[in-house]
Amino acid sequence: MPTDFHARIAAELADIDAQGLTKPERVIASRQGPVIEVGGRQVLNFCANNYLGLAGDQRIVDAAKAAADRRGAGTASVRFICGTQDIHKELEAAIAGYLGFEDAILFAAAFDANGGLFEPLFGEEDAIVSDSLNHASIIDGVRLCKAKRYRFANSDMDELESRLKEAREAGARNIVIATDGAFSMDGYIAKLDEIRVLADRYDALIMVDDCHATGFLGPQGRGSFAHHGVKIDFLSGTFGKALGGAMGGFICASAPVVQLLKQRARPYLFSNALAPAVCGASMEAIRIAQGSEGDALRTRLSANAHRYRMAMTDAGFDLLPGEHPIIPVMLGDAKLAQTLAARMLELGVYVIGFSFPVVPRGAARIRTQMSAAHTFEHIDQTVEAFKQAGKELGVI
């Protein structure tokens, strides 16, 4: 190995640190939940994607245990060799049924779902028109595909229309518009109603990544497309957030699309089947999310988000507008975001500063996230801590 290799890596790490961009990993010694144990202390947790509060729910844990008891730790195989158990077929049917699609295919993660979606379905004759704020996994999935790439500024419908026109004029065979259903760093919800109109006008397909919407946006929590009441062609999602919080991804689509993905999607063909415990946990989460308990959790989540937004705005913080339980507190400077997050932890609230490359340079923030498991008391305590730390650091 060249002798200067480790010196170069160390210099790169030092540079990241000097810019205030190091992302430390704090160790949690409890289940995921509104209150967690960090560094031997109980602290309030406002940065998990635990939207419905199911990640630590005993029923989900019991369902995971029961599935592991029945079907073991895992298949020691990819799906098409000897890795398809009844529980995988049941989960595919459950998620497709819940979200209203013909069929679904499971992946080890939504990252893999997005990585495997485009390449089998689109070739160099086709065009992918992608929102500029799309998740890294969509960007990587699009890169793996030979289709011509077009990009439009976040939710800018005029730019989207211009790109669709360009793609049509360039003679694209199929065009697919790819977007997050809810943008994970900002909490903005994609304008799928307007996207639907443009897709119809330019004969385009629509792909939505609903990782930050499935389970809690729209009727029955079916996601951003249901929130807007529109149909889409491909939906990618995760079991790692609202739907139990374990892990695992999926794509919902028409039956032929799912069949083709099962033949060709590389992260599906060349990676182990989802662990039975994850299937069991996810199935129980779907059962809860789609029923009346899910409605109550969604009502609670929305009330929490509203209360927090109001109180933080009254306190003078700069929040990105919206109605999503992702509520970013904008700070601009990366070091300030880190310092404020560290002070919040001292005050008993676990939040995280986000900076480049996760968000654009100069747009550092603390992304707070509400859960249905938070009480109003948790929210009020957090706002008070933000007020104290914000005053100390000159933010408000």
302 is in an annotated binding site: no
Does residue 211 interact with ligand PLP by CB under 6 A? yes
Asked if 43 contacts 343 with a C-beta cutoff of 8 angstroms, the reply is no
Is 88 a residue of the active site?
no
Set 137, 155, 184, 236: catalytic member:
184
Out of 47, 63, 67, 109, the only residue in the binding site for ligand PLP (CB under 6 A) is 109
Out of 119, 126, 209, 284, the only residue in the binding site for ligand PLP (CB under 6 A) is 209
Please, which residue, 351 or 383, has the CB nearer to ligand PLP? 351
353 is in an annotated binding site: no
Out of 71, 79, 135, 365, the only residue in the binding site for ligand PLP (CB under 6 A) is 135
CA dist 237 to 131, 221, 386, Å?
17, 13, 32
Is 378 a residue of the active site?
no
Q: In what order do the strands lie in the sheet with 204-209?
A: 103-107, 249-253, 234-238, 204-209, 175-180, 127-131, 148-152
Asked if 167 contacts 127 with a C-beta cutoff of 8 angstroms, the reply is yes
Block residue for tokens 């099962």? 262
Does residue 110 interact with ligand PLP by CB under 6 A? yes
Write a three-state SS string for 173-198: CCEEEEEECECCCCCCECCHHHHHHH
Count of CA atoms in the C-beta half-sphere (13 A) of 151:
9
Q: How far is CA 210 from the centre of its chain?
A: 7
241 is in an annotated binding site: yes
Does residue 119 interact with ligand PLP by CB under 6 A? no
165 is in an annotated binding site: no
Which helix (H) or strand (E) covers residue 316, if one does? none
Span interacting with ligand PLP, options 52-60, 147-155, 206-214, 329-337, rule CB under 6 A: 206-214
Is 212 a residue of the active site?
yes
Enumerate residues 6+ apart whose C-beta is below 8 A from 135.
Answer: 114, 180, 184, 209, 211
**175-196 as b/e: b if 16+ CB within 10 A:** bbbbbbbbbbbbbbbbbbeebb
Does residue 338 interact with ligand PLP by CB under 6 A? no
- C-alpha 80/C-alpha 249 separation (Å) is 17
- C-alpha 331/C-alpha 341 separation (Å) is 11
Q: Which two tokens stand for residue 167?
A: 């793609």
To the nearest whole angstrom, how small is the minimum distance from the Cβ of residue 5 to ligand PLP? 30
Block residue for tokens 């809690």? 216
To the nearest whole angstrom, how small is the minimum distance from the Cβ of residue 249 to ligand PLP? 5
Out of 45, 75, 155, 238, the only residue in the binding site for ligand PLP (CB under 6 A) is 238
Span interacting with ligand PLP, options 105-113, 189-197, 284-292, 375-383, rule CB under 6 A: 105-113
The footprint of ligand PLP on residues 247-276 (CB under 6 A) is: 249
367 is in an annotated binding site: yes
Does residue 79 interact with ligand PLP by CB under 6 A? no
Does residue 285 interact with ligand PLP by CB under 6 A? no
Please, which residue, 238 or 368, has the CB nearer to ligand PLP? 238
238 is in an annotated binding site: yes
Residues designated catalytic: 184, 212, 241
Residues making contact with ligand PLP (CB under 6 A): 109-111, 135, 137, 180, 184, 209, 211-212, 238, 240, 249
Annotated binding-site positions for substrate: 135, 367
